[in-house]
């Protein structure tokens, strides 16, 4: 257990509304990541953070923004949700050379 | 452009036999490879990894083989157990800015172990 929690675990929202997903870690890890998982694509990196206020884009960053104002929290925001952002979102931390994942958030955009 | 590919969407193996899951990659800059296991409604769980300076790494029932010339890695599970039934993802990373380890995942292979 890498001490990672994600909230909410499930969310249904409507197209055009803003959505924020939260990732919380308890072990002071420097690196945090947001991925999305879709059928046929595996997991794809959205954004990552290498320290407080230090973030960068991943493979599929369009339509997403992130913030990290303290070590333990990494927020993923969909400014205006679209149906193509319906997915399962996983947060991860890096420890001992590997990444460890949270339980996921299932987001449905109607 | 799929840089990491798992060409078998599914695999069925009898309990007690060997399971072999395969993964191919195209980017020669990848230097670290990982396997994850995923059960439904849970996050992926790290299984085993291998650096490009090695060609084999073992951890209990799990062994990962890396063939750099063929850009191919495989995961062997011996003996296979019913609890091994899950989706398996391979992932790869190379040098990145800030040392951030940006993973690129394959599409996954669903392994089913039959009693």
Contact in structure between A74 and A23 (CB atoms under 8 Å): yes
Contact in structure between B110 and B11 (CB atoms under 8 Å): yes
B32 to chain A, closest Cα gap in Å? 10
Q: Which residues of chain A have pLDDT under 70?
A: 1-2
Q: Mutating which of A2, A42, A92 best tests the B interface, going by the most B Cβ atoms within 10 A? A: A42
Cβ under 8 Å to B: A residues 60-89: none
pLDDT in tens, A72-95: 999 999 999 999 999 999 999 999
Interchain CB contact of A3 with B (< 8 Å): no
Interchain CB contact of A101 with B (< 8 Å): yes
Rounded Cα distance between A61 and A56, Å, is 9
| Residues in chain A closer than 8 A to B89 (CB atoms) | 42-43
CA count, 13 A, side-chain hemisphere, A64: 27
Rounded Cα distance between A47 and A77, Å, is 11
pLDDT band at residue B83 using 50, 70 and 90 as cut-offs: very high
Segment B57-77 shows an average pLDDT of 98
**Could you count the other beta carbons within 10 Å of the beta carbon of residue B111?**
22
Query: Which of B86, B91, B89 lies closest to B108 in space, CA to CA?
Result: B89
pLDDT of residue B95 exceeding 80, the answer is: no
Beta bridge partners of B89: B36
SS3 A83: helix
Beta bridge partners of B1: none
CB contact under 8 A, A48 and B102: yes
Q: How high is the pLDDT of residue A2?
A: 66
Interchain CB contact of A1 with B (< 8 Å): no
In chain B, the DSSP E strands lie at 4-5, 10-14, 19-25, 30-38, 45-51, 56-59, 62-67, 72-77, 86-94, 104-105, 109-114
pLDDT of residue B43 exceeding 90, the answer is: yes
Rounded Cα distance between A32 and B35, Å, is 19
Query: Which of A66, A63, A68 lies closest to A76 in space, CA to CA?
Result: A66
pLDDT band at residue B99 using 50, 70 and 90 as cut-offs: confident
CB contact under 8 A, A99 and B101: yes
Beta bridge partners of A27: none
């Amino acid at each position: 257990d890498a001490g990672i929690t994600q909230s909410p675990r499930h969310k249904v929202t409507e197209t055009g509304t803003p959505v924020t997903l939260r990732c919380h870690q308890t072990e002071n890890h420097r690196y945090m990541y947001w991925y999305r998982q879709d059928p046929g694509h595996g997991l794809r990196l959205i954004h990552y953070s290498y320290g407080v206020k230090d973030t960068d884009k991943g493979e599929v960053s369009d339509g997403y923004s992130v913030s990290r104002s303290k070590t333990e929290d990494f927020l993923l925001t969909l400014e205006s949700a679209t149906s193509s952002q319906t997915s399962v979102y996983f947060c991860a931390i890096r420890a001992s050379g590997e990444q460890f994942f949270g339980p996921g958030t299932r987001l449905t955009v109607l | 452009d799929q840089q990491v590919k798992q060409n078998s969407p599914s695999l069925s193996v009898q309990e007690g036999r060997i399971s072999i899951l395969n993964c191919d990659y195209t980017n020669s800059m990848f230097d670290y490879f990982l396997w994850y296991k995923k059960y439904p409604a849970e996050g992926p769980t790290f299984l085993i990894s291998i650096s490009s300076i090695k060609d084999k790494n073992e951890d209990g029932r799990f062994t990962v083989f890396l063939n750099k010339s063929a850009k191919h890695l495989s995961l062997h599970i011996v003996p296979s157990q019913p609890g091994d039934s899950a989706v398996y993802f391979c992932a790869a990373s190379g040098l990145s800015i800030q040392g951030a380890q940006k993973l690129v995942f394959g599409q996954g292979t669903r392994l089913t172990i039959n009693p």
